[in-house]
Structure 1
Amino acid sequence: MFYFPCCSLLPESFPVLGVADGTMWTSLAGILLLLGAALLLGTIAEQLRQSALLGYIAAGTLVGPNLLGWVSNQKDIFDLAELGVALLLFAIGLEFSLPRLRRLGRIPLLAGTLQVIFTLLAGLTVTALLGFSIAESLAVGAMIALSSTACVVRMLNDRAELDSPHGRTALGILLVQDIAVIPLMLIVTALLNGGTPGEVIVQLGLSLLLAAVFVAVFYGLFNFVLPRVLELSSLRRNRDFPILLAMLMAAGSAWSAHQLGLSPALGAFVAGVLLAISPFATQIRADIQPLKTVLVTLFFAAVGMFADLGWIAGHLGLVLAVVAAIVLGKLVITFGLAYLCGQPWQFALGTGLCLAQVGEFSFVLATVARGEPGISSILSENTFRAMIAATIATLILTPYLIQLAPGAADLIRRLSQRKPKQVDEQAASNIIVEDSASKTESDFIIILGFGPAGQRVAGELLQVGLKHIVVIDLNHENLQIAKQYGLHAQLGDATQIEVLEHAGLYRARLVIITLPSPTIGRQIIHLVRQMAPGTSLYVRCRYHLHHWQLLAAGADVIVDEEEHVGERLAQQFLESSLYQQLSSSSREPEKKREQQDS
């Protein structure tokens, strides 16, 4: 356990400030050390053009119990960090509504089921041939069957490949694997405790029943109760309440799944999918983003704490052999099954590369199978250490394998020096759909704020045929009006990067800010200029005093309300009958003087 060295400098008679025994603060010190080391080594990894995940894992190894020993309570930290995985899956679920999830098709479901079965059997067969017991071989096969949802989803999301053909299939297979955690955990537990197959079947049936209850309860909650709660005026006035509600839903869904004996990450994902149809989904996703980032980083650092570099150095050949067998074996199995299930071979190869690692739930299975050495244990100490080392090694390799996934097929074509063959009809249709989608969605306008000003802007744009418009507003009533206009309406705080990204800022040609606050306007201008410097910015300026501030912030066109009001007042007067009367009366003395002069 890590202790602050400065504590020894205090006199023993110095009074203790507070009533806590210090355990919480010691745990917090370990968490801060992990996050600090992750920040440092993650930054170094990025500077070296490597994935930041490598730095996070290296940070946990460095300060963990097997190297410097500054942080030793790895189980407590790992348990806390698992919430980060649940929040990550909850956020991804908010992107995948039920209709979009159904569009994943049958390939991920079928390929995922077969992948778990075939990988488990392959691991069981190989280890049994090497002289392991059936129980130990089955535990190893169960561990190898799972891939890393946290690592793969994080990398695909960062690379904007989650909706690519290989990304969609990989996500679907990962969801099947998360479901498979339940029966695999029951099998390993039964082997450890000597349970009968009948007891395992009964427990599995109970788990399926509880899963159905979980989905039904959350479906009713999110579709009938939550909309009425979110429409309360107090929630719209106070930004603290929606943030607290978002965290309650995200963490509560994971906790509820855990209490029912289900996978917390899978439970959080299901809750996110059920909530995705709500107009509040984007803002909820943005509200949980900071905590999700912290806990996911802590998760990968906690994974690194399991590494024992001394043991790995003494058994380097064994570890490399296990890593090679896992990566190549899972690549071949996943690629073959995805291809046989109907996915084009180019995308099947990318899917195989994405899933050629051992996942985070394998740590849980390994810990359960290890039990208490000498009392009740399935895995020997060497097998446990070898699997932990191999799991961490495959996670380190994952960013590089995912980088290869999009261009793997082209690379094979070049190496084989064959002429590129025409892709099959399904691949071609996928490419055509994606290209057409990118063409139709690459030229659109974002309107921030849909009050009277935003509504007038949208009306004028619709009249000239510009229909690809996205509206962002925090007022639910304004969003209803936007939907009546036939526009895509999104509830969210436009000062948050997550909301602007989800709205498609990177593809927008024009952003129109109709919000009256100059402070909020400057914040949004800075974000847009930072994220999409080529996007045009038209901004509303309520008072002439702020005109130059908005211009200096980076706005392209500013509509100054005071100048505009002055122009419109003058124009209205010049078009009125009063102007004609005053003008004619003012010209009469001039005419009289001209007549006298003449």
Structure 2
Amino acid sequence: MFYLPCCSLLPELFPVIAVSDGSMWKSLASILLLLGAALLLGTIAEQLRQSALLGYIAAGTLVGPNLLGWVSNQKDIFDLAELGVALLLFAIGLEFSLPRLRRLGRVPLLAGTLQVFFTLLAGAMVTAFLGFSIAESLAVGAMIALSSTACVVRMLNDRAELDSPHGRTALGILLVQDIAVIPLMLIVTALLNGGTPGDVILQLGLSLVLAAVFVIVFYGLFNFVLPRVLELSSLRRNRDFPILLAMLMAAGSAWSAHQLGLSPALGAFVAGVLLAISPFATQIRADIQPLKTVLVTLFFAAVGMFADLTWIAGHLGLVLAVVAAIVLGKLIITFGLAYLCGQPWQFALGTGLCLAQVGEFSFVLATVAHGEPGVSILSESTFRAMIAATIATLLLTPYLIQLAPRAAVMIRRLTQPNPLPPADQVNASSVETEPVSKTDSDSIIILGFGPAGQRVAGELLQVGLKQIVVIDLNHENLQIARQYGLQAQVGDATQIEVLEHAGLYRARLVIITLPSPTICRQIIHLVRQMAPGTSLYVRCRYHLHHWQLLAAGADVIVDEEEHVGECLAQQFLDSSLYQLMSRSSRETEENRDGHSP
């Protein structure tokens, strides 16, 4: 363990300040070292136009126990980092309501089930052919059957491909794999302890019952209890309470699933899906975003800590052979099954590339199978080879996912010597992305739907502009927006996640009607950073802040004090009092002119 010498020296010199044994601070020092190294190497990776995930994994390898040795308690850190995977799946679940999840279709469910079975079978057969025992072969096959939910979902989400055809199928298969973690864990544990097949079936049946209980309880909680809690006025007045509630739901769902013997990540995803129909889903996802980012980064750094570069260097040929066999084998199996289940070959190929790696839960299976000396079903060399191969496939994953949307076009060009005619080129490019319609790029976002926002929306609707999205933290205001027929979502507009979900990148105009100049400046900076071409119309409550908002980047500012002055003057000029005073003034002026010499 690496930590500053003063951490142990100060309590000896000043025992009064030694309020604890220091174990917590040592763990914190390890976490800070990992995050600092991840920040440094992740930044370098981005500068080299590589995925930051590569930098995070390299950071764990660098400061981990097998290289510099600054951080050695990898198990405790990995256990903490698993919460990051759960939060990631919870946030993704908030994007996938039950209707949208059903739209994934039968292909992911069928292909995922067959993929787990055939990959496990193929891995076990190959290792058994090489002379491994049946138990060790099954353990290796179980590890290979799983792909990385955290890595694939993170990359697809960052590349906005989670809703693409290959992205949807990959997500569906990953969910099936997360469900398969339960029986695979039972199988490996039974092999380790000598359990019978009947014991495995009994435990699996109990897990299914507990999973049903989990879904029923959380469905009732999120549909009948939570809406009434979130409408409390105290939650709207104090922003601390919604954030605490969001973390309680996200982490609590993962903990509950773990206590029931289920996959924490899968439990968090199910909870997110059940909560996705709530109007508060966007804000909840934004509230957990900071902690999710920290823990997911910590997770990939913790994965890198398992790498032993000395052992890998001495067995490089073996590691490369295992990596090649895993990547090619999983690519072929996943591609073939997705294609046979009805997915077009272009998308099936993309799905195969996305899932051609070994996942994070394989570390858990490997640790269980490795067991203690004398009760292990994995030899030391097999354990190290699988850990090294798993990390290597994770390092390859960003490149494979980048290749996935273009793979079909590249193969088509290689197999067709003549260049594609223009029409085919258009069809080929449409495989990668779906065009954004004109109406999708003409939307208007109104931030704040009090009296000012309602007046703006009313005027826009009268002239036929209906592509309007409203963001507000006040539930009553959002009900009014829905009565107008507008899209409305609960959210704090100072958070990037909320603006992204509202479609800022596609909006032509953002209208800020919020009274606080500080919040307005924060939002202006975010909009200018995320969508510099979007027009910004901003409310300014006091003339004092007019130039501050203009300097922040607002295009048009409606100064309330100036506007009030103009309106008051105009009201007076249109009144009969003005006519009377004007006539009296003219008469006075004429009398003065008549008496002048």
> TM-score higher than 0.5 here?
yes
Equivalence for 2:563: 564
CA drift of 1:572 comes to: 1.9
1:159 correspondence with 2:159: yes
Equivalence for 1:551: 550
Q: Could you report, residue by residue, the CA deviation over 1:459-513 in whole angstroms, capped at 9, with x for unpaired residues?
A: 1111111111110111111011111111111111111111111111111110000
Equivalence for 2:353: 353
Equivalence for 1:405: 404
1:476 correspondence with 2:498: no
Equivalence for 1:319: 319
Partners of 1:435 and 1:10 in 2: CA distance? 61
CA drift of 1:433 comes to: 13
Equivalence for 1:532: 531
Q: Are the counterparts in 1 of residues 11 and 18 from structure 2 also a CA contact under 8 Å?
A: no
Alignment CA distance shift 1:462-1:10 (3 Å): closer
Partners of 1:201 and 1:420 in 2: CA distance? 56
Alignment CA distance shift 1:495-1:312 (3 Å): same
> Which stretch of structure 1 is more off in the superposition, 316-325 or 563-572?
563-572
Alignment CA distance shift 1:131-1:202 (3 Å): same
Q: Are the counterparts in 1 of residues 405 and 431 from structure 2 also a CA contact under 8 Å?
A: no
1:392 correspondence with 2:405: no
Equivalence for 1:463: 462
Partners of 2:154 and 2:166 in 1: CA distance? 15
> Which stretch of structure 1 is more off in the superposition, 3-12 or 181-190?
3-12
> Which stretch of structure 1 is more off in the superposition, 127-136 or 321-330?
127-136
1:573 correspondence with 2:572: yes
Partners of 2:432 and 2:154 in 1: CA distance? 25
After TM superposition, the structure 1 = structure 2 runs for residues 140-289 of structure 1, keeping only pairs within 5 Å, are 140-289=140-289
Partners of 2:96 and 2:76 in 1: CA distance? 31
Alignment CA distance shift 1:420-1:130 (3 Å): farther
Q: Are the counterparts in 2 of residues 413 and 419 from structure 1 also a CA contact under 8 Å?
A: no
Alignment CA distance shift 1:429-1:12 (3 Å): closer
Equivalence for 1:128: 128
Equivalence for 1:48: 48
Alignment CA distance shift 1:428-1:118 (3 Å): farther
AA at the equivalent of 1:315: H
AA at the equivalent of 1:52: A
Partners of 2:101 and 2:9 in 1: CA distance? 59
CA drift of 1:342 comes to: 1.2
Q: Could you report, residue by residue, the CA deviation over 1:96-135 in whole angstroms, capped at 9, with x for unpaired residues?
A: 1111111111111111111111111111111111111111
Q: Are the counterparts in 2 of residues 42 and 55 from structure 1 also a CA contact under 8 Å?
A: yes
After TM superposition, the structure 1 = structure 2 runs for residues 306-385 of structure 1, keeping only pairs within 5 Å, are 306-374=306-374, 376-385=375-384
Q: Could you report, residue by residue, the CA deviation over 1:47-69 in whole angstroms, capped at 9, with x for unpaired residues?
A: 11111111111111111111111
Partners of 1:458 and 1:337 in 2: CA distance? 50
Equivalence for 1:299: 299
Equivalence for 2:108: 108
Q: Are the counterparts in 2 of residues 509 and 536 from structure 1 also a CA contact under 8 Å?
A: yes
* TM-score, normalised with respect to structure 2: 0.96
CA RMSD between the two structures: 2.3
Instruction: Give ranges in structure 2 of 5+ residues lacking alignment.
Output: none
CA drift of 1:139 comes to: 0.7
CA drift of 1:6 comes to: 2.9
Partners of 1:8 and 1:258 in 2: CA distance? 36
AA at the equivalent of 1:146: L
Alignment CA distance shift 1:436-1:13 (3 Å): closer
> Which stretch of structure 1 is more off in the superposition, 582-591 or 302-311?
582-591
Q: Are the counterparts in 1 of residues 43 and 55 from structure 2 also a CA contact under 8 Å?
A: yes
Q: Tell me the SS of whatever aligns to 1:252.
A: helix
Q: Tell me the SS of whatever aligns to 2:17.
A: coil
CA drift of 1:434 comes to: 7.1
Q: Are the counterparts in 1 of residues 546 and 559 from structure 2 also a CA contact under 8 Å?
A: yes
Partners of 1:445 and 1:433 in 2: CA distance? 27
Alignment CA distance shift 1:440-1:230 (3 Å): same
Q: Could you report, residue by residue, the CA deviation over 1:347-368 in whole angstroms, capped at 9, with x for unpaired residues?
A: 1111111000000000000011
Alignment CA distance shift 1:113-1:439 (3 Å): farther
Partners of 2:342 and 2:128 in 1: CA distance? 32
Partners of 1:204 and 1:420 in 2: CA distance? 54
Q: Are the counterparts in 2 of residues 111 and 337 from structure 1 also a CA contact under 8 Å?
A: yes
CA drift of 1:437 comes to: 5.6
Q: Are the counterparts in 2 of residues 471 and 488 from structure 1 also a CA contact under 8 Å?
A: yes
1:508 correspondence with 2:507: yes
1:139 correspondence with 2:139: yes
CA drift of 1:579 comes to: 2.6
> Which stretch of structure 1 is more off in the superposition, 104-113 or 316-325?
104-113
CA drift of 1:372 comes to: 0.9
Q: Tell me the SS of whatever aligns to 2:211.
A: helix
Alignment CA distance shift 1:430-1:451 (3 Å): farther
